[in-house]
Chain A
Amino acid sequence: AQSVTQLGSHVSVSEGALVLLRCNYSSSVPPYLFWYVQYPNQGLQLLLKYTSAATLVKGINGFEAEFKKSETSFHLTKPSAHMSDAAEYFCAVNPGLRGSQGNLIFGKGTKLSVKP
């Protein structure tokens, strides 16, 4: 069964520092992978998605993620953190072959704090 593991439930960085949020997946088929962000009292906003095209995926707000099949990883990075990046981030996988299922399996989430 497919699953997603996010390492670190809380990550704290200083403003201007590198953001690195880790996500590892397990999937028996080529996965479709996603990163979502959730601000307090809000729904989920799609940051970026991997659907088997380029392995380095660029998203909104300066975020990017690299799909590494050998490491079964899809870590999220941003070169320079901004105060507005403070939120909770979720990695997700679509469990079907080439995204064929109509649902997502989410990791437990990582709360990002940004210190001034």
Chain B
Amino acid sequence: KAGVTQTPRYLIKTRGQQVTLSCSPISGHRSVSWYQQTPGQGLQFLFEYFSETQRNKGNFPGRFSGRQFSNSRSEMNVSTLELGDSALYLCASSHRTGAADYGYTFGSGTRLTVV
């Protein structure tokens, strides 16, 4: 069964631009979470979507947004990019929200570089 697919794998953007990252969860999974990974801050939770609704949000500015479609695919958007947004963005999917007992399956991530 296919895993969590994130596209693109690598992106280079210029400061001030915006970017959209995509995540396709495992078939049947309805919960999608996003994390930002940087050397300085480590892994930080961005937000979680379940059945097209944002269920939980981390402590990030409003420039970071996301959405989920009816087929459970999710996108996250970062507007007005800053150098500090350079990071590996990871998507994780699970059967349902609050699904710690089932666990979360992560994709390989999108490496965003802001220049």
Contact = CB atoms under 8 A, between A and B. Distances in A.
B113 to A, nearest CB: 13
A83 interface: no
A37 B111 CA distance: 18
B45 A46 contact: no
B56 A46 contact: no
Nearest to A108: B42
Contact of B106 (A41, A45, A99): A45
A103 B42 contact: no
Contacts, number: 71
B103 A102 contact: no
Interface in B73-115: 90, 92, 94, 97-101, 103-109, 111
Nearest to B48: A102
A73 interface: no
Given A90-B43, A100-B98, A102-B33, A43 B90 contact: yes
A42 B88 CA distance: 10
B63 interface: no
Given A43-B4, A44-B106, A99-B101, A104 B90 contact: no
A103 B99 contact: no
Given A32-B100, A102-B50, A105-B45, A43 B31 contact: no
Interface of A: 32, 34, 36, 41-46, 49, 51, 90, 92, 94, 96, 98-109
17 contacts: A41-B111, A43-B4, A43-B107, A43-B109, A45-B106, A46-B103, A49-B103, A90-B43, A99-B99, A99-B100, A99-B101, A101-B100, A102-B56, A103-B33, A103-B48, A104-B33, A106-B44
